[in-house]
Amino acid sequence: MSDTFRALQLSKTDDGQAANIVELTENDLMDGDVTVEVTHSTINYKDGLALTGAAPVVRTWPIIPGIDFVGTVTKSEHGSWKEGDKVILNGWGVGETHFGGYSQCARVKGDWLVALPDGISPERAMAIGTAGYTSMLCVRGLERQGIMPDSGDIVVTGAAGGVGSVAIALLAKLGYRVIASTGRASEANYLKGLGAAEIIDRDELSGEGRPLGKERWAGAVDAVGSKTLANVIAQTKYGGAVTACGLAQGPDLPSSVMPFILRGVQLIGIDSVMAPIEKRQDAWNRLATDLDMAKLDAMTETVGLSDVAEIAPKILAGQVRGRVVVDVN
Ligand code: NDP
């Protein structure tokens, strides 16, 4: 690598914030014990929040955003990593308080890194990204509650988004019957191609609902929150489980205790950002075996660093389908 590298830098301005491509040197990076030559990053919902300033995700200014990256270790003072190792980073406040993945070079704590599994290329690792790794955390959450393919259907909300698309592909490959809830009827064929058996209109779930509804599914992957999550819980079968990971509709949860005390429904919170390393490694190993890579490719588009700022408002508006990889070179 040359002495300088390119990065997308987000700065505060009098009018709000501005994103610019800048040339930096390693001296400009923040502290850490591992330096990584980054090849790819990605755009998640949280990156959209950071890049637009729609929520106060960024807490260090100026910042290099990007909550995910993949690359090759160039320097390491950490016992687990050596030059040449291929590594993935997801979360830990990177792209929020620590310089992130929209950069050709990153310096982070070695404790934050996961080895790129054999069988996943760097580009596909970012096609998975935080969104896909979170989908696997949801699948693991359902499995731990004993929700298996013969337990009944699984509903996936925010189906055409990043978390939703990967969740559908994973669940279908594992043998679950998947109901995809989407606001984009035009994406029905796309969702069926990923493995959804049934498509429902998200309006069925996004309005005011009853505390208990007809028992429709044994489990759920919910990326939407708010009334949608309340309705998903209210329509979960006796003994079922709902994994809650997102807030695309809102952070509120206007629910009641009825599904919990009358049907024994379990609500499982899913966090990817501070998840311990063993949980991450387990999720990434399972992604290497349980995700159909052809389906992953079909849900992914690749863009350059200079396209990132333009895509950010679209992901918040629910206009991005599947996953977006950023090739930083
Ligand atoms: P995307 O924007 O790719 O997907 C979100 C999807 O939600 C949209 O595509 C849309 O799906 C649906 N949606 C959008 N707005 C609304 C609305 N107002 N009401 C109902 N549905 C809506 O984002 P990601 O997949 O990257 O992230 C999804 C959520 O998961 C986000 O809230 C994100 O913050 C959260 N998340 C949480 C993580 C954690 O650690 N807990 C990690 C990763 C993500 P459709 O068009 O099909 O209806």
Tell me, letter by letter, the H, E, C secondary structure of the chain.
CCCEEEEEEEEEECCEEEEEEEEEEHHHCCCCCEEEEEEEEECCHHHHHHHHCCCCCCCCCCECCCCEEEEEEEEECCCCCCCCCEEEEECCCECCCECCCCECEEEECHHHCEECCCCCCHHHHHHHHHHHHHHHHHHHHHHHCCCCHHHCCEEEECCCCHHHHHHHHHHHHCCCCEEEEECCHHHHHHHHHHCCCEEEECHHHHCCCCCCCCCCEEEEEECCEHHHHHHHHHCEEEEEEEEECCCCCECCCCCCCHHHHHHCCEEEECCCCCCCHHHHHHHHHHHHHHCCHHHHHHCEEEEEHHHHHHHHHHHHCCCCCCEEEEECC
State percent of the chain over pLDDT 90.
98
Q: Relative to the CA of 164, which ligand 1 atom is closest?
A: 25
Instruction: State residue 15's pLDDT score.
Output: 85
Domain residues for the domain of 80 are 4-116+299-327
- The pLDDT of residue 64 is above 70: yes
Q: What is the mean pLDDT of the chain?
A: 97
Question: How many Å lie between the centroid of ligand 1 and the Cα of residue 30?
Answer: 30
228 and 138 fall within a common domain:
yes
Instruction: Enumerate residues lining ligand 1, CB below 6 A.
Output: 44-46, 130-131, 134, 158-164, 182-184, 202, 206, 223-224, 228, 245-249, 270-273, 315, 318, 320
Q: Relative to the CA of 323, which ligand 1 atom is closest?
A: 3
Q: What value does the CA radius of gyration of the chain take, rounded to a whole number of Å?
A: 20
89 and 8 fall within a common domain:
yes
The count of structural domains within the chain is 2
pTM above 0.95, yes or no: yes
9 and 98 fall within a common domain:
yes
88 and 189 fall within a common domain:
no
Arithmetic mean of pLDDT, 146-153: 98
Q: Whose CA is closest to atom 17 on ligand 1?
A: 249
Instruction: State residue 238's pLDDT score.
Output: 98
Contact residues for 102 (Cβ-Cβ < 8 A; gap 6+)? 7, 8, 41, 64, 65, 66, 95, 305, 308, 326, 328
Q: Whose CA is closest to atom 28 on ligand 1?
A: 223
291 inside domain: no
Pocket residue to mutate for ligand 1, from 49, 89, 134, most atoms within 8 A of Cβ: 134
- The CA-based diameter of the chain, rounded to the nearest angstrom, is 63
Q: Whose CA is closest to atom 1 on ligand 1?
A: 161
Report the CATH number that the domain containing residue 32 is assigned in CATH.
3.90.180.10
294 inside domain: no
Instruction: State residue 120's pLDDT score.
Output: 97
- The pLDDT of residue 215 is above 80: yes
Distance CA 156, CA 163 (A): 9
Q: Whose CA is closest to atom 11 on ligand 1?
A: 158
261 and 149 fall within a common domain:
yes
Arithmetic mean of pLDDT, 68-80: 98
93 and 134 fall within a common domain:
no
- The pLDDT of residue 1 is above 60: no
| pLDDT tens, residue by residue, 254-297 | 999 999 999 999 999 999 999 999 999 999 999 999 999 999 99
- The pLDDT of residue 24 is above 60: yes
Question: How many Å lie between the centroid of ligand 1 and the Cα of residue 134?
Answer: 12
284 inside domain: no
